[in-house]
């Protein structure tokens, strides 16, 4: 089930500069694992032991996955995933 994943500027060094890449998985966690297999190292920029990193936002279509089922959110064919780092500071 290929889905489209939009990659933010800061992570494009992992994807060879590509803004939009394809990945597969039946859940967000599966998609992240597949991304990491294709672009080694990108996975740990997105998740840590406790799950999705606090200052990384992931959207399934238009919805923040934190309001869905987090990494367990089901992903279907032709869904679109957008990764955006939080804009935050002190």
Partner 1 sequence: MLEITQALVDAMVAHARADHPDEACGVIAGPEGSDRPTRFIPMTNAARSPTFYEFDTTDLLRLYRDMDDRDEVPVVIYHSHTATEAYPSRTDIAYASEPEAHYVLVSTRETGTEDGPYELRSFRIVDGAVTEEPVTVVPE
Residues forming the site for partner 1 (CB under 8 A):
8-10, 55, 57, 59, 62, 64, 66, 82, 84-90
State the minimum distance, in angstroms, from the CB of residue 57 to partner 1. 5
Nearer to partner 1 among residue 37 and residue 69 (C-beta): 69
Q: How many CB atoms lie within 10 A of CB 5?
A: 25
State the minimum distance, in angstroms, from the CB of residue 19 to partner 1. 9
Nearer to partner 1 among residue 37 and residue 67 (C-beta): 67
Task: Indicate the burial class of 12 (C-beta count within 10 angstroms; 0-12, 13-18, 19 or more).
Answer: middle
Cα(1)–Cα(22) distance, integer angstroms:
10
């Amino acid at each position: 089930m290929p889905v489209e994943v939009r990659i933010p500027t800061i992570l494009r060094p992992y994807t060879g500069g590509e803004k939009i890449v394809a990945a597969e998985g039946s859940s967000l966690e599966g998609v992240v694992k597949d991304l990491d297999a294709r672009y080694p190292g990108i996975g740990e920029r997105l998740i840590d032991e406790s799950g999705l990193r606090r200052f990384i936002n992931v959207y399934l279509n238009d919805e923040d996955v934190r309001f869905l089922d987090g990494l367990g959110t089901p992903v279907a064919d032709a869904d679109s995933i957008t990764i955006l780092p939080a804009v935050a500071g002190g």
